[in-house]
């Protein structure tokens, strides 16, 4: 056993984060560790990190150095059935296991109320077949979403709308309370739309092979939503085109591009590693 004084020499003492020099030291430390994470990821059979925006690390470091008190907003987007919801659930699970406060919110709750249109055309499928573009930015309550995200980032709890997934097209305003935790993960295609994407501290894009996405989508539509195979295929053709038009262009703006077909156990290891290195200060 080492004497207590010798043990203390081996510790990395937490810098004074109330000072700029302390935050600069932490930022430098995290930059070095992020490079280690990327090297670790590259050695895996199926890496989870497909790309890193060249300016991401410096931007995130500046956020630390500036000492902002804002809560951390993480936006996760990707085409339908890319795996973004699964990745968000894994992020939430690991963060909660590490006792870090986290909120997860889906932008699907911010679809416009289209109940009158569905009554007019008889069904959602008929409305879609008559040209209604459900994934277009104009189909979301983006102003409400932006205001809610800003409030969450400032530590203010919100009441989010709820879009009912029962085919009625009803959106209930201020339907459920969302707590403003220190980490807020927001999932959905609307996270990267104009007037919303700039509020996020970290922007993540999830991508997966189109054939795998199609298999996932059809299976989910038939088994979980009781759709016929023909209708599921028709809706797949729509969302594939909508994804190319509205979602895929934001890949180049993402801070991190993740592989939606990677091993979630590997993702958990990366998240735990990030937690360990950021809490290595005594």
Query: What is d(CA 192, CA 22) in angstroms, rounded to the nearest whole number?
Result: 33
The torsion region of residue 122 among left (phi > 0), alpha (psi -120 to 50) and beta comes to left
Task: Report whether pLDDT(74) > 80.
Answer: yes
Share of the chain above pLDDT 70, in %: 89
Q: 0.75 exceeded by the pTM?
A: yes
Contacts of 182 (CB under 8 A, 6+ apart): 71, 72, 100, 101, 102
- 264 has a pLDDT exceeding 90: no
Pairing of strands 171-178, 158-163: antiparallel
Predicted confidence (pLDDT) per residue in 223-253, tens digit: 887 788 888 898 899 999 999 999 999 999 9
Between residues 72 and 205, which one has the greater pLDDT? Answer: 205
Q: Where in the chain is the domain with CATH 3.40.50.300?
A: 18-101+199-282
CATH classification of 18-101+199-282, choosing from 3.30.565.10, 3.40.640.10, 1.10.1740.10, 3.40.50.300? Answer: 3.40.50.300
What are the distances in angstroms from CA 114 to CA 2, 53, 110, 245?
Answer: 69, 37, 12, 22
How confident is the model at residue 32, as a pLDDT?
Answer: 81
Percent of the chain whose pLDDT exceeds 90: 48
* pLDDT tens per residue across span 127-145: 988 999 999 999 999 999 9
- pLDDT at residue 254 above 50? yes
pLDDT band at 282 (very low <50, low <70, confident <90, very high): very low
Q: Residue 30 has what DSSP assignment?
A: H
Radius of gyration (C-alpha) of the chain in whole angstroms: 21
Per-residue pLDDT at 7 = 46
């Amino acid at each position: 056993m080492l004497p207590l004084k010798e043990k203390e020499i081996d510790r990395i003492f937490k810098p004074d984060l109330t000072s700029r020099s302390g935050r600069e030291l932490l930022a430098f430390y995290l930059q070095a560790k992020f490079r280690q994470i990327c090297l670790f990821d590259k050695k895996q059979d199926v890496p989870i990190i497909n790309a890193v925006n060249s300016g991401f690390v410096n931007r995130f470091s500046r956020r630390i150095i500036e000492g902002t008190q804002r809560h951390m907003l993480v936006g996760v987007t990707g085409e339908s059935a890319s795996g973004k919801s699964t990745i968000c659930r894994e992020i939430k699970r690991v963060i909660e296991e590490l006792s870090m406060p986290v909120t997860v919110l889906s932008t699907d709750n911010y679809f416009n109320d289209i109940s009158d249109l569905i009554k007019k055309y008889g069904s959602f499928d008929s409305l879609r077949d008559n040209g209604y573009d459900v994934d277009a930015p104009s189909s979301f309550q983006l102003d409400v979403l932006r205001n809610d995200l800003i409030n969450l980032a400032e530590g203010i709890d919100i009441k989010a709308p709820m879009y009912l997934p029962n085919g009625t097209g009803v959106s209930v305003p201020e339907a459920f309370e969302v707590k403003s935790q220190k980490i807020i993960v927001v999932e959905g295609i609307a996270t990267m739309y104009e007037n919303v994407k700039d509020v996020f501290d970290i922007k993540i894009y999830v991508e997966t092979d189109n054939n795998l996405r199609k298999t996932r989508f059809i299976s989910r539509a038939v088994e979980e939503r009781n759709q016929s195979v023909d209708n599921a295929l028709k809706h797949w053709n729509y969302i594939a085109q909508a994804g190319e038009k509205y979602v895929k262009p934001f890949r180049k703006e993402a801070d991190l591009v993740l592989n939606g077909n990677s091993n979630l156990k590997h993702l958990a290891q990366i998240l735990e590693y990030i937690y360990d290195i950021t809490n290595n200060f005594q």
